[in-house]
Each structure stands twice: as C-alpha cells, then as structure tokens.
Amino acid sequence: MGIVDNSRALVIGVANERSLAWAIARELKGQGAEVGMTYQGETLEKRVRPLAASIDAHIFGSLDVSSEAQIEAVFAALRERWGGLDMLVHAVAYAEREDLRDRFISVSRAGFAKALEISAYSLVALARAAEPLMEARGGGSILTLTYLGAVRAVPNYNVMGVAKAALEACVRYLALDLGPKNIRVNALSAGPARTLSSSAIRDYYTMAHETEGRAPLSRAMKPEEVGTMAVALLSCLAGGVTGQTVYVDLGYSITGL
C-alpha cells in the first residue's frame, strides 16, 4: 500500500530524466498515485512522452504556462478524464540566459517581467485552474519547487532569486485563500541539482561543490530525496502543513559560514 493510493496527481515541469519534477512523478507513481504530465513544445515532448510511458502516466498535452488558453485546455482535458484532482506539482521556472550571467542590476524590464510571470505567477494561474477540481475531491495539495536564492543573495542567481522570493510569497497567500476548501499549498526548497534549468546558471558547478562541502551532511543531494519529501508534503502525512517552505538541501541553509 502506498501513501497516496487512489490519488490523482498532475506534475507540470518535467523536462528530462534529470528533472526534479521527474523524481517526484516517479515517487508519486511508486506510492500509488495515478500521474498526469504535460510538456512544453515539440522538443520537450520527445523527451517527456517516453518518461510518461515508463510509469504509465497520462499526457494531458502541451502547456506553456504563460498561455491562459493552454492552461484551460489542459485542465479541461483533465476534468474530462479524471473528474477531479488531488495533487498538483508546479516545477516551472524561467529567466533569460543573459539575466543569469550578468549583474542583477543589468536585468531588463522585459526580462524581469518574464521571469516573474513564468516562475511565480504561473503558480497562481495553475492553482486557480486546479481549485474547482480539488474541491470536487474534497480538498487537495499543491507543491512548488523553490531555492535558497529566494531568501539569500546567491551569486549568479540574480533575477531568478527575486522570482523565487515572489513564488514563496504566492505560496503563503494561496494557502490563506485555499485553506477553507481543504487545499494545502507548500514549497520545497531543494539543494543544487544538475537539471536543464541549472545549466543556465554561470559557475553552477562551483556553487554545487561549495554547497556539498559546507552542508552538514557533507555530500550531494539525491533527486530521490526530493521525490520522497515531495510526496510526503503532498500526502496526508503532512495534513497539518500549509503555507510553508520545507528545505531538502542536506542542511546547507542552516549554516553561517
């Protein structure tokens, strides 16, 4: 018996087999959930479909989170197939590459707006679409992925740190709004991971090595550790937890030097 047996979970943000969203999707399936996934564009579709097939996950189509029409189409398809939704995983973030490689002060107005829209506002838009489907199931749980750069100035993280700070604030306000409908909203702050997104960060490997050396557990984070904690937060095991940011970073966030 899994801890999320008979649950229906939509995972948004899988890009390839290294995605933390993929680690979460696999663990959800392993713990008994029926999993749905989306992809963004034809290039990622070629990577996502085989992964989905490997865990018997249903693909609900292409999803660009900056498109209200595509959000509506995905959730309409989900409503038709499942009727309701128990869990939503938001693992979406974006910033222009040049905004992660120059000084933060150089970020353009357009680049700033785009990073905030895709990385933070998209959680609000998806939560709004998920609300009636979760209400139909008697409640639900929403989880997003964040990073320490939301609360500390991390070199080269730049506008993404600002976007993650906004994302964590969105978590708190969404938790306040959706709590009366028995819908919980939390964030998981993971340590550095080798993903498609992290490849855009200048000196990523230096940052990851520094974290590994200073973290109390003195090793690299394992994607499956993110997966297991994510499922715990999404499940009834965390039934009294909402509006929180939970760290899975080997303890690095507690250190001073």
Q: Which of these is catalytic: 157, 204, 247, 252?
A: 157
Residue among 39, 94, 121, 147 flagged as catalytic: 147
Q: DSSP assignment, residue 239?
A: T
* Residue 157 designated active-site: yes
> What is the C-alpha separation between 22 and 10, in angstroms, rounded?
12
C-alpha distances (whole Å) from 24 to each of 28, 55, 90, 132, 142 are 6, 12, 11, 23, 13
Buried-exposed string 1-30: b where 16+ CB fall within 10 A, e elsewhere: eebbeebbbbbbbbbeeebbbbbbbbbbbb
Q: 174, 176, 59: which is closest to 125 by C-alpha?
A: 174
Q: Among this protein's residues, is 205 annotated catalytic?
A: no
Catalytic machinery residues: 147, 157
